[in-house]
Amino acid sequence: AADCFEHRALTGRHVLITAGPTQENIDPVRYITNHSSGKMGFALAEAAVEAGAKVTLITGPVHLPTPDRVNRIDVISARDMLAACEAAMPCDLLIAAAAVADYRPEVVAQHKMKKDPTSGEGLLLQLVRNPDILATLAGRPDRPFSVGFAAETENLLEYASRKLKDKNLDLIVANDVANPTIGFNSEENAITIIDRDLGQTSFAQTSKGKIARQLIIFIADRLNQA
């Protein structure tokens, strides 16, 4: 399995990867987002190319260079990301590393919102649910081998297993974002893979690049034995 990169174990495979945060507009100058850096998704794209795959990387706003030979598509909102993924289908393997905003403002103000000059009241922002990109793609008749990420601050394996089932995934990657050295904006990661058929496998804390290569080797083995 360690020879995956020499053997180019993903040759001929189309791999779709989502990465980064999404931004959900409130008005022309404001938005809701999160602290995702995109590093894990970009590292996975690079590793998948090294393993011989054709890679489409659909990313929210991040400050990262595009890895060599990766087809990068930039999007802003969750709905844009879903539309870009649907346009990029079919694929053999989907890895959903994006931190998609769960909600967006129900209405986007046309003009920059002004404070009410006559009162010191707060502001209530009505939010609505965004589509679930991973569950949508994993629910299609042409569903790819589907890999999700579960970033949790508590009950990590329980919540991750629930997502594996609820979204109809083949595999989920659980990581503990309560630990600041392996969380959203960090250089390193430590993960536990929960595989629908194979159960749990853990990888010790190391750089996101090394974790990405280990994960791509694991997934390539699973794809090639299926």
Q: Any idea which residues carry the catalytic annotation? A: 34
From the list 80, 92, 102, 221, which residue makes contact with ligand CTP (rule: CB under 6 A)? 102
CA distance 226 to 208: 27
Crossing angle of the two packed helices 39-50 and 208-225, in degrees rounded to 10:
50
Q: Does 27 bind ligand CTP (CB under 6 A)?
A: no
- Report DSSP state, residue 71: E
Tokens of 171: 């595999």
Give the separation between CA 155 and CA 101, rounded to whole angstroms. Answer: 21
Q: Report the residue from 45, 70, 91, 134 that binds ligand CTP according to the rule CB under 6 A.
A: 134
96 binds ligand CTP (CB under 6 A): yes
Q: Which is nearer to Ca ion, 112 or 162 (CB)?
A: 162
Residue 83: enclosing H or E segment and its boundaries? Answer: helix 78-88
Instruction: Tell whether residue 163 is a contact of ligand CTP (CB under 6 A).
Output: yes
User: Contact letters (x/-) for Ca ion, 89-108, by CB under 5 A?
Assistant: -------------x------
3-state helix, strand, coil in the chain (%, to 5): 25, 30, 45
| 193 closest CA partner among 167, 209, 225, 217 | 217
* Closer residue to Ca ion in complex, CB, 125/198: 125
For Ca ion, the closer CB: 74 or 102:
102
User: Where does this chain touch ligand CTP (CB under 6 A) — which range of 44-52, 112-120, 148-156, 214-222?
Assistant: 148-156
Chain residues in the site for ligand CTP (CB under 6 A): 18, 78, 96, 98, 100, 102, 130, 132-134, 148-151, 163
